[in-house]
Amino acid sequence: MDFRIADTFADALARLPAQDQKAAKISALDLQLNPVSTGLQFHRIDKSKDRNFWSVRANRDIRIIVHKTENSILLAYVDHHDKAYQWAERRRIEAHPKTGAIQIVEVRERLEQARPASSLESSSDEAPNISEVVTLPFNRLTEDQLLSVGVPPDWLADILNANEDRFLNLADHLPSEAAEALLEYVTTGSLATRPLPVSSQDSVSESRAPSNAVKSTSDEFAAIRAAEAIGYSHPDALRRFRTIENAEELRVALEYPWDKWLLFLHPSQRDIIAKDFSGPARVAGSAGTGKTVVALHRAARLARSAPDTRVLLTTFSKPLATMLRRKLEMLTENDGSLLARLTVSPFHGVAEELFELSFGRRPHIASEDLIRSMLAKAVDELSAQDAPIRFLVSEWSNVIDAWQLADEEAYATVPRLGRKNRLSAKQRSRLWPIFQKVREGLAQKGTRTWAGVCSELSARYANSPTKPFSHVVVDEAQDLGVPELRLLAAIAPNVPNNLFFAGDLGQRIFQQPFSWLGLGVDVRGRSQVLNVNYRTSHQIRLAADKLLPNVVRDVDGLEERRDATVSAFNGPEPRIAQFPTSNTEIAAVSDWIKQARQDGFASSEIGIFVRSHEQIDRARAAVKAAGEADLVLSDRIEDVGNRISVGTMHLAKGLEFKAVSVMACDDEVLPLQARVESVADEVELDDVYETERQLLYVACTRARDRLFVTCVGPGSEFLSDLSAD
């Protein structure tokens, strides 16, 4: 007998208090070990039209809803007695008549009985006016087209007669594949279908043969079981149902019920994880589309491919690398032999470890302040006061050091991509002695920049037949710089599946753009975009996307479209508010926190973000006024516990919360005035504004359900875009 778990069970389990969760987990494990045990106290849900729904007692009040057939048991839901029964009474589980995928379907008439004043459709006594008929987005589709994307038959009329506003209410009641396809149709005008292979269709048709067909009882049983297996193995069913092979696998599933990515993957994610690429490949997508999930699963898949594989999973910061390591441990069930093949480290952590292995010592890294002082000293020694120090710092960081230019000839020929100030050969010749003095000074002190460390290692490994890793997987790849990309390309062999990048150009906040192709990393033809956002509500995503262009292009011409992205669920509209003083802002955010807590949000599910450390005190004051404890995020890794996370927008990257407040979005705070004043030319100014917008985008898209953006007037100019209709 097959034993399965549904994502609806994982969601419901995560919402229960700890003691009730423990009771439910024990009962679930008992159920798998002995599904016919009389101690489980099975009770059929008599009011459900699906006769396969049963309840299992977990404790005095908690009931597990299981879907039980002759072939399988499915953990479908768990809750307090009355709520659990109501859930089962309003649903059925069946194979879709068109696609064959197993679905959890809300029973239309049951929903109407539970909501007499339902807002799902307009009153039948009122004829829609002409303008309303014209704006019905699905009235050009046929019922067969709707069925082809997984719409249940009894919901067809609702869809065909829904305008866009009513459809957003409907979407929450539809199977996710149907809701996503229809949202994509509203957004792009294209209806994507996922037909089953002919063999699968034939199997489904065969399983529906009349009961009086000439076949034995055992044949009938085998056909039914085959049809059920096909329905559960459909790509759309795999995203919400997982077959559990043993007690240990179930234990892991129950231990991390909130991390559904461990078990349930979208078909587009699953395809990319499993695909073999002939060379470097990239997955893109806006915030919340599951790029990190793909990176994690792909790293684990590559590690499983052979016992001698050595996989590097890397990202831009230590906190994110630590988070990835923890998630890999969960994903691999702490399999020591598998984890031994996986190295998780930030970009510069990899460089530091390889440098020590290669040269027997750790590198001594020059600080930004040291570089600035050395440039200023060189200007004085060479009487080159006509060269502004601000320009020299920028030229050093973005050209000389980034490309590791060793002599005047290299500087004369390097393409200064994205630099507004064009420099003639004569001007470069005048500037080079300044940079040469800095290079000499660093060598005399025995110090290096990170770019220098990466460059030395790249040279060491580029032509070496022995590589430290067989595969490299990169998360947050948009924040790779020139030296880091060179190093990663050098430490993996030039074989299929050697390099895999996951990133979003719209979240680039650290690096200036450059050509990957120019460094020999060609992902053309091997770049795919994820379009389903299952972390951020439709309303929050729409608002945040207004901060960025619909199409983002990299230097090599590859495009990432944001206007084709759809969210898997709805939520309240984000709030954007301006206040006369910081005290009134603090009071408003405090009230917002109190309301979130009253509505059942845990403190650990709330995040407060500001632009820089100077505004942290405002965020902490709001948390304190709400009577809550905070955790100030930093490069240190701590357990959040039952505290509200407070941090800068930079540290928000990679995190997610059910409710987020982005505070102190004041004029001259966002964009940060210090950055604006530090630029050397107009192109850098454009880049500052672009990355400051992307910082706000990153902070806003950490929110799943609720977003509250605040400022003290006058507010940031970006807020008018965020709130634009």
Give burial (CB, 10 Å; 0-12/13-18/19+) of 175.
buried
User: Which CATH fold would you assign to the domain 2-98+237-262?
Assistant: YaeB-like fold (3.30.2310)
Listed in sequence order, the DSSP H helices in 90-141 are 108-114, 130-134
Listed in sequence order, the DSSP H helices in 398-424 are 408-413
What is the helix (H) or strand (E) element at residue 377, kind and residue range? Answer: helix 368-381
- 679 token code pair: 């630029």
- All residue ranges of the chain with pLDDT < 70 are 38, 110-135, 193-227, 257-258, 416-422, 509-510, 635-640, 680-683, 724-725
In angstroms, rounded to a whole number, what is the distance separating the alpha carbons of residues 680 and 700?
Answer: 29
Question: What top-level class would CATH report for the domain 572-722?
Answer: alpha beta
In angstroms, rounded to a whole number, what is the distance separating the alpha carbons of residues 7 and 264?
Answer: 7
- Kindly report the backbone phi and psi dihedral angles of residue 637, in degrees, each rounded to the nearest multiple of 5, phi listed first: -100, 120
pLDDT of amino acid 169: 80
- Kindly report the backbone phi and psi dihedral angles of residue 661, in degrees, each rounded to the nearest multiple of 5, phi listed first: -115, 130
pLDDT of amino acid 35: 82
In angstroms, rounded to a whole number, what is the distance separating the alpha carbons of residues 589 and 597?
Answer: 12
- 277 token code pair: 């690429």
* pLDDT, tens digit (0-9, with 9 covering 90-100), for 253-291: 787 765 777 778 888 898 999 999 999 999 998 888 889
Helices (H) and strands (E) in the chain, counts: 31, 24
Q: Where are the chain's structural domains?
A: 2-98+237-262, 102-188, 267-360+464-535, 368-447, 572-722
What is the helix (H) or strand (E) element at residue 66, kind and residue range? Answer: strand 62-68
- 49 token code pair: 């039209």
Q: Go through 94-123 and write b for each residue having 16 or more CB atoms within 10 A of its CB, e for each that does not.
A: ebbebbbbbbbbbbbebeeeeeeeeebeee
3-state per-residue secondary structure call for 179-223: HHHHHHHHHHCCCCCCCCCHHHHHHHHHHCCCCCCCCCHHHHHHH
- 466 token code pair: 């022995």
Domain 572-722 in the same topology as domain 267-360+464-535: yes
pLDDT of amino acid 617: 96
Contacts for 211 with CB less than 8 Å, ≥ 6 apart: 220
Q: For the packed helices 18-33 and 7-15, what is the interaxial angle rounded to 10 degrees?
A: 150
Give burial (CB, 10 Å; 0-12/13-18/19+) of 131.
exposed
Give the whole-number percent of the chain exceeding pLDDT 70. Answer: 88
92 neighbors 45 (Cβ within 8 angstroms): no
pTM, to two decimals: 0.81
Whole-number Cα distances in Å, 212 to 80, 207, 215, 238: 43, 13, 8, 32
pLDDT of amino acid 638: 59
Per DSSP, what are the bridge partners of residue 67? Answer: 53, 74
31 neighbors 78 (Cβ within 8 angstroms): no
DSSP-assigned states of every residue in 261-322: GGT---HHHHHHHH---SS-EEEE-STTS-HHHHHHHHHHHHHHT-TT--EEEEESSHHHHH
CA 527 to mean position of chain CA atoms: 17
- 285 token code pair: 């997508």
CATH number 3.90.1150.10 is the correct assignment for the domain at 267-360+464-535: no
DSSP-assigned states of every residue in 606-625: EEEEESSGGGHHHHHHHHHH
* pLDDT, tens digit (0-9, with 9 covering 90-100), for 658-676: 999 999 999 999 998 888 8
For the beta carbon of residue 389, count every other beta carbon within 10 angstroms. Answer: 14
3-state per-residue secondary structure call for 527-549: EEECCEECCCCHHHHHHHHCCCC
Q: In terms of DSSP bridges, do strands 657-662 and 703-712 run parallel, antiparallel, or are they unpaired?
A: parallel
pLDDT of amino acid 220: 59
pLDDT of amino acid 222: 65
Nearest of 347, 346, 351 to residue 363 by alpha carbon:
351
In angstroms, rounded to a whole number, what is the distance separating the alpha carbons of residues 236 and 266?
Answer: 7
Q: With H, G, I as helix, E, B as strand and everything else as coil, classify residue 340.
A: coil
